Structure 1
Amino acid sequence: MPVSTTAYVIRELATLADMEANHALLQHLNPSLQAVAYRTMLEDMIPNGYKQVAVYDGDEVIGLSGYWIITKLYCGKYIEMDNVVVNPAWRSKGIGRLLCNWIKEKAKMSGCKSIHLDVYAHNKHAHRFYFREGFMIEGFHMIQYL
């Protein structure tokens, strides 16, 4: 069910078609993400519980976060924000905070114990934003490319 705010509508997205429509916005964060690859990944992710939450100004999506609800031994049940992006023209207008608040409420309603997210190491603006939102560094996300 959409949630209205002062000027925006927040919607949870669960279908491939709704998520595919956000490809251009996601390219602000991942410029090399091609539409075909995005669709293929969504086809793998959606059956495993992946959803998105989007902030709209009219018909335009201006902010987006993917999310998963997962349980792991080290932390219990949690929600993971994934590929959080706000259209550059809409940054510093509270859109990121709307997404974080929506995720926090979803986590509480779902019985999650925490919210997790990854932030690119070079994205200093995002680091400052998430610290202001109450996030802290718990560890390092390590990758070995194959």
Structure 2
Amino acid sequence: MLDQIGTMKHLYPNITLEKYEEYLNEMVPHNYKQVAVFDDGICIGLTGFWTAIKLWTGKYIEIDNFIVHSEHRSKGVGKMMTDYIDAKAKAEGCNAIVLDAFTGNFTAHRFYYNQGYEPRGFHFVKMLNEEGLT
């Protein structure tokens, strides 16, 4: 996962290798995994995902940090990743796949609608430390 810091920087330009490693060391023991798409050894798509249980969904997968390199968009890379997550969720007996997309990211909204996702509510956030954000 650390080898893909360059791809992760497409989403979080200011993340350092040290911070990324620190976060991964906390996340991986809590079921965080990644799936990536490579073209000639170069990572062109990457997403993290978590498997967990909530009362309203039962077992589910949450997609986190979905990235397709801008030069490789509209080429099926994102669909390959969502198809993989879909198959993984079904194989693991999940009832749902969930994700967050920022309210102004209309390109992502259109992509997720086309993949069968739909909004079911609002994800409310109370920021306690803006400077702590990646």
Q: Same fold (TM over 0.5)?
A: yes
Q: Distance in 1 between matches of 2:102 and 2:21?
A: 23
Among all aligned residue pairs of Structure 1 and Structure 2, give the percentage whose two residues are the same amino acid.
43
Aligned residue number for residue 139 of structure 1: 121
Aligned residue number for residue 10 of structure 2: 28
TM-score by length of 1: 0.85
List, as ranges, runs of 4+ consecutive aligned residues in structure 1 with deviation greater than 3 Å.
none
Q: Distance in 1 between matches of 2:51 and 2:86?
A: 12
Aligned residue number for residue 78 of structure 1: 60
Aligned residue number for residue 132 of structure 2: none
Q: List gaps (5 residues or longer) in structure 1.
A: 1-18
Over residues 3-47 of structure 1, what are the superposed CA-to-partner deviations in whole Å (9 max), with x where a residue is unaligned? xxxxxxxxxxxxxxxx11111111111222222111100000011
Which of the two has greater helix per residue?
Answer: 2
Over residues 24-80 of structure 1, what are the superposed CA-to-partner deviations in whole Å (9 max), with x where a residue is unaligned? 111111222222111100000011110000011121111011001110001110001
Aligned residue number for residue 57 of structure 1: 39
Q: Number of residue pairs matched?
A: 128
Structure 1 residue 94 and structure 2 residue 104: aligned?
no
TM-score by length of 2: 0.92
Root-mean-square deviation (CA, aligned residues, Å) is 0.8
Q: List gaps (5 residues or longer) in structure 2.
A: 129-134
Over residues 121-141 of structure 1, what are the superposed CA-to-partner deviations in whole Å (9 max), with x where a residue is unaligned? 221100110011110001111
